[in-house]
Amino acid sequence: MTGTVEWICNFPMTQKNGIITPMRTNRRNFIGTTFAFAATAGCMAPRCGTAKAAKPFSLDGRCTLRMPVPGIPGPVNFFVVGDTHFGLHDARDDKHADNYKRMAQWPSPKDVLAKALKRAKDAKTDMVLLVGDIISFPTLANLDHLRAELDRFNIPWLYVAGNHDWHFEGDSGSDLEQRSRWIERRLKPLYKGENPLMYSRLVKGVRMVMIDNSAYHVTPEQLAFWKAEAAKGDPIALFMHIPLWVEGWNITTCGHPRWGAATDPYWEIERRERWAERLMPSTYAFREAVFGTPNLVGVFTGHNHKLMVGQEGNALLFSVPANRDGSCMEVQLSPA
Ligand SMILES: [Fe+2]
């Protein structure tokens, strides 16, 4: 898929190895510039636009991606929201206090998701894509608040889990076991009857595919699901928590060649089992399949809490900055 990409983002940022990093000036504020990003798929060396006069940038900042897409009958608007990291808890989960006490030290503002949803509502968005780590641990208080915020705005949304959504630190079992356990016990209503690990929705001609890679692995079943969805031929957008690895991106991406128990940086801090010795081979095959999908609109993820823009072949990758810091990404697709 070819087309011009225009990138507008009210962050000052550095760009290195395809990673565009917003720079904080202090705890709450950024100094704003406008970054314009123009490229064609297949030849996408990022070119920085001219920085406009600096202006204060608050937690209400916005990221907008405008992209023409062949094969859609009209404009499509969607919002990508990730890494809200609500840190709420109450007496109902006192028995898990030891499991959430570390992450609860950094709760996000309680209204930070609502601000993004209000922006989406005002834009009359077609869909909000929640790409994981919306909560920092699966307490009932967190899930009640999340659901109440989503219900309050009454806009269409789809959800896929991040690694924190299902993680109580110090809990037993592997990441894959913990994911199954807490999806079943707590997260299940967020999928509205869909398969939590893979599902899709056709939205105004764009096939939106949700794949759970929150434990870094992609299973053979998920790989087969992707291939079947891509073969339907519609413009297809992929939403996951963890970005697919591209050259220069760090170990906390999906499909990194050195990912494994020996390179796990956080297992002791997060009180969990080390990563597996290596990724399931289907993870690498999935990455190749996604990058080789000719009708791919883009891959939208979170996890690293910073804006990352990358390209591999014709695939464009966008990892959104954290909603906990007031961010989300508005994507405006127009017919090519
Ligand atoms: Fe994450």
Per-residue model confidence (pLDDT) at position 10: 43
* pLDDT more than 70, % of the chain: 82
- The distance from CA 108 to its chain's CA centroid, rounded to whole angstroms, is 17
What are the φ and ψ backbone dihedral angles of 95, each rounded to 5 degrees?
Answer: -65, -15
Q: pLDDT category, 306, cuts 50, 70, 90?
A: confident
Per-residue model confidence (pLDDT) at position 183: 98
Residue type, 2: T
Q: pLDDT category, 305, cuts 50, 70, 90?
A: confident
Per-residue model confidence (pLDDT) at position 248: 83
The DSSP result for 207-272, as a single string, is EEEEE--TTS---HHHHHHHHHHHTT-S-EEEE-SSPBP-TT--SSSBT-TT-SGGG-SSTTTTTS
The more confident residue out of 15 and 217 is 217
Q: pLDDT category, 32, cuts 50, 70, 90?
A: very low
State the average pLDDT over residues 71-86: 96
What are the φ and ψ backbone dihedral angles of 193, each rounded to 5 degrees?
Answer: 90, -10
How far apart, in whole angstroms, are the C-alpha atoms of residue 223 and residue 27?
Answer: 40
How far apart, in whole angstroms, are the C-alpha atoms of residue 179 and residue 187?
Answer: 10
- Ligand 1 centre to CA of 233 (Å) is 30
How far apart, in whole angstroms, are the C-alpha atoms of residue 211 and residue 208?
Answer: 10
Q: What is the pLDDT of residues 117-155, one digit of tens each?
A: 999 999 999 999 999 999 999 999 999 999 999 999 999
- Ligand 1 centre to CA of 86 (Å) is 13
Q: Is the pLDDT of residue 33 over 60?
A: no
Q: Is the pLDDT of residue 195 over 60?
A: yes
Q: Residue 273 in contact with residue 218, Cβ under 8 Å?
A: no
- Ligand 1 centre to CA of 333 (Å) is 26
- Ligand 1 centre to CA of 334 (Å) is 30
What burial letters (b/e) apply to 292-319, b meaning 16+ CB within 10 Å? ebebbbbbbbbbbbbbbbbbbebbbbbb
- Ligand 1 centre to CA of 12 (Å) is 23
Report angle CA 84, 87, 93 to the nearest 5 degrees: 140
- Ligand 1 centre to CA of 277 (Å) is 20
CATH fold label, 79-331: Purple Acid Phosphatase; chain A, domain 2 (3.60.21)
Q: What is the pLDDT of residues 276-295, one digit of tens each?
A: 999 999 999 999 999 999 99
Other CB atoms closer than 10 Å to residue 81's CB: what's the count?
26
Q: pLDDT category, 62, cuts 50, 70, 90?
A: low
Q: Is the pLDDT of residue 242 over 90?
A: yes
Kindly give, in sequence order, each residue whose CB lies less than 8 Å from that of residue 29, ignoring residues fewer than 6 positions away. 56, 57, 58
How far apart, in whole angstroms, are the C-alpha atoms of residue 123 and residue 47?
Answer: 28
Per-residue model confidence (pLDDT) at position 14: 52
State the average pLDDT over residues 291-316: 88
Query: By CB neighbour count within 10 A (0-12 exposed, 13-18 middle, 19+ buried), where does 225 fall?
Result: buried
Q: pLDDT category, 42, cuts 50, 70, 90?
A: very low
Q: What is the dihedral of CA 142, 144, 149, 153, to 10 degrees?
A: 150
Kindly give, in sequence order, each residue whose CB lies less than 8 Å from that of residue 268, ignoring residues fewer than 6 positions away. none
